[in-house]
Structure 1
Amino acid sequence: MRMQDMEPVKEITNKLDGWLETLINNLPNIAVALVVLIISYFISRLVFRFTLKLTDKRIKQKSISKLVARFTAVIVVLVGLFLALGALNLGKALTGLLTGAGISGLVVGLALQGTLSNTISGIVLAFRKNLRLGDWIETNGYAGEVVDINLNYFVLREADNNTVVIPNKLIIENPFKNYTLTKKMRVSLECGVGYESDLEKVEQVTKDTIAKHYNQKELGKKVEFYYTEFGASSINYLCRFWIEGESGLDRLKAKSNAIINIKKVYNQEGFNIPFPIRTLQVDSPINIQEAERK
């Protein structure tokens, strides 16, 4: 065999020898890297379980609590991977990996900007103490009971049993009113009485009727009564009182009950609740006959 034909074989043999020597020299580092990866894997499992138990106590949404637990576990694995690469003296590979991860993260973030925004908002909402499942809230023009908070959207059930799905980021970006945080709410009732009525007596009877059915002293409040205007056919007033309630339905029930009881008392006292009256003017028969002749 000619020497020229043997040169490629020698080059391959030399490379294999070099790789084998490098492998043998790096066996301790490889062993350390493998140990680091195995330890990080088991630590990530422990962190996942611990985080899941911790988040389950504060977050009722299973999907969000599992996401948080997985996220912490992935961080532990990534730290182990970076340590293993460092043990193998692969600094350039580690730098390239970080650079590639940064660029990839930027591209994915721009492509999924809306989805990621909703996901992050869902996690933030899950940790909010002033917003829980079962609360009655009003936000973005809708009012209802909070039935679900997941990674993408927020679900409300309105009083008519319709379901409203709202992106999480809209809940974060816009104000909301939570009726459940307070056990008291004020009810406003508007009505009117006839001009012939004794206004002072109307005020006292109305206050007594409301206080009889809704004890204001127990709530630390009082019934408020104000005459507001001279209407077309009545003198109108505004009555405000407090109830124990947490939802819009409680307010509607209290207002309806107050109207029923006030009407009963007004009937007993002879108070008139007038309705609009219109006077129709009809031309006399003489004017009608003259119009027909023309």
Structure 2
Amino acid sequence: MNESIQQSFTDIYDKLIGWLTSFINSLPNLLVAVIVMVIAYYSARIVNKWTARLASKRIDQDSISKLIGRVSAVIVVSLGLVLALGALDLSKTLNTLLAGAGISGLVIGLALQGTLSNLLSGIILSFRKKIEIGHWIETNGYSGEVVDISLNSLILKEFDNNLVIIPNKLIIENPLKNYSITEKMRIAVDCGVGYESDLDEVTKLVKEAISGVYEQHDNTEIEVYFKEFGDSSINFVTRFWVDATAAKNKLEAKSIGIMAIKKKFKANNINIPFPIRSLEFNSNLNLKNINADKRLLQN
């Protein structure tokens, strides 16, 4: 019994000594692997920075330059990992990992379907020239300036300076309005005039008011269309073109147009009616009955 216990302790001791010897023998390789990974990490950061900078000189779109830099950094880190595993003599382990990557990739792909969809959408967005950093867009119920296009999301800065993070998948799948693609925008202003107004004169005054603040170019003209007989006014819409690349420019132009029309109408005595309610009382009231009711209330 004692001999068996003693033999067990001896085996354990020999095993520990063997492990320690193996660890000491592999220390140089482990040190080399650590150095390789550290070098790969810092090299990836440098490569990311310089690759993105070189790409930006040839490519105007910043999102594509950033994507190229990130991909270059991932390649450098992957090469460092392969070299580190080779230094540790784990090439067989690496082959086993690569052999199982097919099945693992299928499982991971199913589990991360939404993430991978955003990733692919981010790559597509990065190469789209119709949406770039600095553009003012409207999508998914949000409107703002594009400040970043990453591999998984797009960041908008709204007019109130709040940031909105939208998954790239939603940007690809939903309609998008880009105000920055074109340099001109058509503005529509609705208004109404009284029934007594001369509509030919109204048309002339509206065109004079708008042309005084926004001169039309390239064969464009100010349009005035009467739409309907309203409850208290004849309603019309005027349309004109302005130089605009953001939703803010649209609001400014509409505001300036409304003020110009209001000022012009006031100077020419054109009425802009507003809904009113008239109360009509019957003048044939029986005053005797009213006085009798008052006496009853006093008693």
The answer to whether residue 72 in structure 2 is matched with residue 69 in structure 1 is: yes
CA contact (8 A) 1:48 1:73 kept: no
Structure 1 equivalent of residue 272 of structure 2 = 273
Residues 78 and 220 (structure 1 numbering): CA distance in 2 closer, same or farther, change over 3 Å? farther
Deviation at 1:289, TM superposition (A): 4.2
The amino acid that maps onto 2:277 is R
Q: CA deviation at 1:63?
A: 5.2
Instruction: Please give the root-mean-square deviation of Cα atoms over the aligned residues, in Å.
Output: 3.4
1:207-265 superposed Cα distances (whole Å, 9 cap, x missing partner): 12212211112x43111110111111111111000000011110111111111111111
Amino acid in structure 1 at the alignment position of 2:223: E
Report the counterpart of residue 101 of structure 1 in structure 2: 101
Q: Which residue of 2 aligns with 1:249?
A: 248
Aligned 8 A contact 2:50 2:69 in 1:
no
> Which residue number in structure 1 is paired with residue 3 of structure 2?
none
Equivalent residues in 2 for 1:112-151, closer than 5 Å: 112-151=112-151
Give the letter aligned to residue 62 of structure 2: K
What's 1:161 paired with? 161
Could you list the runs of 5+ residues in structure 1 that have no partner in the other structure? 1-40, 85-89
AA aligned opposite 2:69:
K
Q: Give the distance between the partners of 2:224 and 2:288, measured in 1 at CA.
A: 51
TM-score by length of structure 1 reads: 0.71
Cα distance, 1:96–1:235 mapped onto 2, change above 3 Å: same
Contact map agreement 1:56 1:65 (CA 8 A) in 2: no
Kept in 1: contact 2:140–2:174 (CA 8 A): yes
Report the 3-state secondary structure (helix = DSSP H, G, I; strand = E; otherwise coil) of the residue aligned with 1:143.
Answer: strand
State the secondary structure of the residue aligned to 1:180: coil
Q: CA deviation at 1:128?
A: 1.3
The one-character-per-residue Cα deviations of 1:94-127 (angstroms, maximum 9, x if unpaired) are: 9855431111111222222222221222222122
The verdict on how the C-alpha distance between 1:158 and 1:94 changes in structure 2, with shifts beyond 3 A counting, is: closer
Determine if contact 2:137/2:179 at 8 Å carries over to the other structure: yes
Structure 1 position 60 matched with structure 2 position 46: no
**Cα offset for 1:266?**
0.8
Aligned-pair identity in percent equals 50
Q: Check conservation: 1:134, 1:147, Cα contact below 8 A.
A: yes
Amino acid corresponding to residue 213 of structure 1 in structure 2: V
Q: Deviations over 1:172-192 (max 9, x none)?
A: 111201110000000000101
- Contact (CA 8 Å) 2:48, 2:70: kept in 1 or not? no
Task: Note if contact 2:122-2:150 (Cα within 8 Å) is conserved in structure 1.
Answer: yes
Alignment correspondent of 1:204 = 204
Indicate how the Cα distance of structure 1 residues 286 and 112 shifts in structure 2: closer, same or farther if over 3 A, else same. Answer: same
Q: Distance in 1 between matches of 2:70 and 2:79?
A: 14
How many residue pairs match? The answer is 243
The 8 Å contact of residues 121 and 172 in structure 2, kept in 1 or not, is answered as: yes
Q: CA deviation at 1:79?
A: 11
* Cα distance change on mapping 1:287 and 1:276 into 2, 3 Å: farther
Conserved? CA contact 2:224–2:236, under 8 Å: yes
Whole-Å separation in 1 of the counterparts to 2:81 and 2:129: 31
Q: CA deviation at 1:47?
A: 9.1
| 8 Å contact kept, 2:52–2:66 | no
